Amino acid sequence: MLNILKNRFEQGYRTSRYPKEKIEPTSRYRGLPKINSEAPSDMVMQCADACPQNAIDPQNKMIDMGRCVFCGTCERLSEGRFVSFSRNFELAVSMKENLLTDGSLPALSLHARQNFKSLFGRSLQLRQISAAGCNACEADLNVLATPFFDMARFGINFVASPRHADGIVVTGPISRNMKTALLKTYEAVPSPKVVIAAGSCSLTGGPFRGSPEVSPGLDSLLPVDLFIPGCPPHPLTYLHALLTYFK
């Protein structure tokens, strides 16, 4: 017993005060890209060529955050003069076309569906479905339940049964072998329901795009309400998306 109390004392209180207080991931974290539209076109071309995800549109000098895995290659190659990544983790969008960005994003809260706010603002129960996710997206969703992020204090929880859920959060590029299970789980959620695509894989196939065993993105199968970029998205990116869209 004494041991339990000693440990309790040592561990202290750890829950973050976000969103009441601002919080910033460490300096190397790569969040919302800043794009210099004045960058010379050969530099832009070089970055577009090197980008493993072909996420850079060199003509319009934009980045497709649906494809981008935030590997940092373009930032390194251009030494920050074409692309540099900010520490802003607020990346989610509600319309797929907004994933293609010049470095600015529309305010998510303005795009949130108002009936979702009134329906789910006080309580949001989500069923997570991993459909060939690599486990990193899943892991960083899971940590939302640990003391630091403690998502339950906002009335948001992951539930075991789709019948108890208000919506689904899908990770992974939706493999051929998971497609039916995913669709069945979706059907089992009562309407009205929310569909959230989390991570580059579920947005566009991510690193696996082009493989005949995966889909080109969740929106090819279901209507998606919220797109959360990253590989994986930082837990704060998830948290911001959920709080802004539903609260």
Partner 1 sequence: MKSEFKQIANGKAIARDIIPHLAFDEFTHEVLTIVGEGGKIVQYFAYADGSAVNLLAVLRTDKRLLAAGCDVPKNYPAFSAQYEPFHLFEREIAEQFGIRPEGHPWLKMVRYHANSRGVSDVFGNNYSQDIPGNYNYYSVEGRDIHEVAVGPVHAGVIEPGHFRFNCIGERVLHLEIQLGYQHRGVEDLLCNADVKRLPVITEGIAGDTAIGNSLCMAQAFEGLAYMRPDAGARIIRTIALELERIANHLGDLGALSGDVAFLPVANYCGRMRGDFLNMTLLLCGNRFGKGLVRPGGVCFPLTDENRKTITERINELKPQVEHVIGLLFSTHSVLSRFEKCGTVSRLDAEKLGLVGPAARACGISYDARRSFPSEHYRLLDINENVEFTGDVYARAKLRADEILQSISIIQSLLKNHIKTECVVRGSIHPAPSSLVVTINEAWRGELSHCVLTDAAGRILRYKIKDPSFHNWNGLAMALRDTGISDFPLNNKSFNLSYCGFDL
Closest separation between CB of residue 14 and partner 1, Å?
5
The CA distance from 158 to 151, in Å, is 9
Report what 55 binds from partner 1, ligand SF4, none; CB cut-off 5-8 Å by kind: ligand SF4
For residue 74, the partner it binds in ligand SF4, partner 1, none, with Cβ less than 5 to 8 A by kind, is ligand SF4
Using CB under 6 A as the binding rule, whether residue 165 contacts ligand SF4 is answered as no
* Residue 92 near residue 245, CB atoms below 8 Å: yes
- The reply on whether position 69 binds ligand SF4 by CB under 6 A is yes
Q: How far is the CB of 109 from partner 1 (least distance, A)?
A: 26
Residue 105 amino acid letter: L
Residue 13 CA, distance from chain mean position? 27
In the bound state with partner 1, the residue whose beta carbon lies nearer, of 208 and 227, is 208
Looking at residue 143, the DSSP 8-state letter turns out to be G
Distance CA 57, CA 42 (A): 13
CA dist., res. 226 & res. 193, Å (int): 12
Which stretches of 121-205 are DSSP H helices? Answer: 136-142, 179-188, 200-204
**Contact flag: residue 218 with ligand SF4 (CB under 6 A):** no
Residue 128 found at the interface with ligand SF4 (CB under 6 A): no
Closest by CA position to 94, among listed 104, 79, 103, 105: 105
Single residue of 201, 218, 224, 226 touching ligand SF4 by CB under 6 A: 201
Cα 236–226–191 angle (5° rounding)? Answer: 120
Amino acid, single-letter form, for residue 44: V
* Of 6 and 122, CB closest to partner 1: 6
Q: How far apart are CA 154 and CA 187, in angstroms?
A: 26
**Nearest residue (CB) to ligand SF4, 167 versus 207:** 207
Q: Residue type for 46, please?
A: Q
Residue from 74, 129, 195, 236 that binds ligand SF4 (CB under 6 A)?
Answer: 74
Give the x/- contact pattern for ligand SF4 in 23-62, rule: CB under 6 A.
----------------------------xxx-xx------
Binding partner of residue 43 among partner 1, ligand SF4, none, CB cut-off 5 to 8 Å per kind: none
> Which residues here bind ligand SF4, judged by CB under 6 A?
51-53, 55-56, 63, 68-74, 83, 133-134, 136-137, 171-172, 199-201, 206-207, 231-232
